[in-house]
Chain A
């Protein structure tokens, strides 16, 4: 079928010719101290196309995409077809920046719909980018591009990943990626089978008032509990975090309404992610939740994760103001560690400051930590915020926090997170006492 090392459907070099060429280009790049870039492109869903339209149909799609790739790269690189739906482009004199730009351009050109008989196909691809390093074996170099492509695919495809940017290369990386895929799958199941629930942990003021209850997500699929530490990073990577966040908004708001109807007028604090707050639709989603739950906005508080502090964009600012204008409270979570930054405090119209548990666990013995807590508390108060300490487990910690001027406490010393019904019972017992 193949003549002169050329793949007949695409006109690209075949695999063997590609490896020959790779050796030659790598030697010449090394000799002249020039750059050499490799892009490894994997088309998504070709198996599906082949199954639906036969291999002839698949070949037609491949040929059309190959044509687009050739046009887009405009003679800058050597194109090779490595296998059914995988291509490699070797580009001499190309640095990382240009390679990445080209990868983005190629993704775009691949994604234009292809009219195929009676339907439109929507192709997409994953691209791995590598730059030849000094003294690097050319095959190792190509393998790095392949591995980066694998990472792009595991991250959901439709993207380019440069070698070296993968979270963890090697066997461990592969195992972790598999685990992530599994969790992603569990998450989809949870979202369609009612596997999500919220547990609530009370935040109790030193005056005895229930300051709020924090809603914490629980995910159970097939009797397996998936801890938030595993769940949230995967949800963030796959974009499912927005859906989880919106689900929590409505579920939490409904619970606030339930509590209020049962005579317990307590705020429900709901965690919102950076992805949610970066969306122009956040305001509409928040209002939709308030509306569906028929709850007064004063009974809702949004807990802002610390990663939000990395970049407070105009959209985030606008969304926070929308929430405040609606009457919803804003709490800054995990304050004092990570990305928290004093400069950001003035930009966020927050109503509550939650001190990170890292300060609490060393109390009362660590007097320096105590001093920091005291100052942060004063700062929060000056800015008109209620100050809460998280992770309080012992009486001595509680006493120290009272001395530091903290307003309210969240932690096992008062109650563990509990399901809706148990929380209601907790309220009942408390009011009876």
Chain B
């Protein structure tokens, strides 16, 4: 979609490079996000101009309208056009929703990645729905949703860079004691949480989101009253982890040991008692199944 977007402030040189970098799977900040934030900084943002820029990309437009209308995103009411979506969501939320949509498109389309992104999207949607359902005042559904999409975006980057990353990933998923990223750190010079955090920072995403990505496997930060990450980062982490656990319970497939390591802290932070989980899952099942 970036090809259809004109951004006068960015040179053709950048556009050319963005194309070539995209081919090897490294996503710099999409030009359309530049365009939106440029508009957001204006005293009077030109919604009409932005709408036409976004509408020029048919698949992005369709995804944005779908996102704005979805129950998991926390908004009610039907929007039919991009301009309505922008008005209803506001530029701030819209730009993060667009970032989430573009993230997937910034990577090469391979069957393996399709499964990965589908799984991220499921976690994102359920996180957004859970945030509403549980009435968590510390977190906004759209923030929970965006975090779900971005949480593991470091994984495809490491996949592209390290041929044996699938093996490391499998080991990290099976590790019952050490932290997930500790397994990566032992085998690789970096880990997916750090890579994801840097990517999110370079896309100018909110600090709370970046820090949540960075710390999403750290059991200690979920509950500790540390100054970093801020509380909303911890709620994002816990909500996505809970959503992932419910999805795993529903499908009967558990791919990770993360809930064993982080679950108790997540439930405590979200103030959910162990015996409430089954009820929440029962309420979530129609939502999980409806979207399939």
* A interface list, Cβ under 8 A from B: 52, 111-113, 118-120, 122-124, 156, 158, 188, 191-194, 222, 239, 243, 246-247, 249-251, 254, 257-258, 261-262, 281, 283-285, 287-289, 291-294, 326, 420-421, 424
B79 at the A interface (CB under 8 A): no
Residues of chain B within 8 A of A111, CB atoms compared: 225
Rounded to whole angstroms, the CA-CA distance of A124 and B226 in the bound complex is 10
B167 at the A interface (CB under 8 A): no
Interface pair B138/A193, CB less than 8 Å apart: no
Q: A192-B207, A292-B199, A293-B26 are in contact. List 20 more A-B contacts (CB 8 A).
A: A52-B137, A111-B225, A120-B271, A123-B225, A156-B227, A193-B40, A194-B29, A239-B228, A243-B210, A246-B198, A246-B201, A258-B14, A284-B189, A285-B194, A287-B188, A287-B189, A288-B198, A292-B26, A292-B157, A326-B189
Interface pair A112/B201, CB less than 8 Å apart: no
Most chain A CB within 10 A, of B154, B198, B204, B223, is at: B198
Residues of chain B within 8 A of A424, CB atoms compared: 13
Interface pair A285/B198, CB less than 8 Å apart: yes
Interface pair A192/B202, CB less than 8 Å apart: no
Interface pair A118/B13, CB less than 8 Å apart: no
The residue that B271 contacts in the complex, of A118, A124, A420, with Cβ under 8 A, is A118
Interface pair A122/B26, CB less than 8 Å apart: no
Interface SS of chain B: helix
Interface pair B17/A258, CB less than 8 Å apart: yes
Interface pair B161/A191, CB less than 8 Å apart: no
B157 to chain A, nearest CB (A): 6
Interface pair B225/A112, CB less than 8 Å apart: yes
B108 at the A interface (CB under 8 A): no
Residues of chain B within 8 A of A292, CB atoms compared: 26, 157, 195, 198-199, 202
B170 at the A interface (CB under 8 A): no
Interface pair A192/B198, CB less than 8 Å apart: no
Query: Of residues 250 to 292 in B, which have CB atoms within 8 Å of A's CB atoms?
Result: 268-269, 271
B: contact size bracket: 35 or more
A-B contact count (CB 8 A): 104
Rounded to whole angstroms, the CA-CA distance of A243 and B214 in the bound complex is 12
Rounded to whole angstroms, the CA-CA distance of A281 and B205 in the bound complex is 21
Interface pair A291/B20, CB less than 8 Å apart: no
Interface pair A188/B207, CB less than 8 Å apart: yes
A196 to chain B, nearest CB (A): 9
Given contacts A239-B228, A284-B194, A288-B195, contact A192 B17 (CB under 8 A): no
B24 at the A interface (CB under 8 A): yes
Rounded to whole angstroms, the CA-CA distance of A387 and B191 in the bound complex is 35
18 A–B contacts from the bound complex (CB under 8 Å): A112-B225, A113-B223, A119-B137, A120-B268, A124-B227, A192-B207, A193-B40, A243-B210, A250-B198, A251-B202, A262-B17, A281-B194, A292-B195, A292-B199, A420-B11, A420-B14, A421-B11, A424-B13
Rounded to whole angstroms, the CA-CA distance of A192 and B37 in the bound complex is 9
Interface pair B204/A193, CB less than 8 Å apart: yes
Residues of chain B within 8 A of A420, CB atoms compared: 11, 14
Rounded to whole angstroms, the CA-CA distance of A111 and B41 in the bound complex is 37
Rounded to whole angstroms, the CA-CA distance of A291 and B157 in the bound complex is 8
Interface pair B271/A192, CB less than 8 Å apart: no
The residue that B206 contacts in the complex, of A158, A192, A250, A285, with Cβ under 8 A, is A192
Residues of chain A within 8 A of B197, CB atoms compared: 246, 288
B185 at the A interface (CB under 8 A): yes
Rounded to whole angstroms, the CA-CA distance of A257 and B11 in the bound complex is 16
Residues of chain A within 8 A of B114, CB atoms compared: none
Interface pair A288/B204, CB less than 8 Å apart: no
Residues of chain A within 8 A of B154, CB atoms compared: 288
Residues of chain B within 8 A of A112, CB atoms compared: 225
Residues of chain A within 8 A of B138, CB atoms compared: 119
Residues of chain A within 8 A of B228, CB atoms compared: 239
Given contacts A118-B271, A119-B271, contact A243 B13 (CB under 8 A): no
Most chain B CB within 10 A, of A124, A192, A246, is at: A192
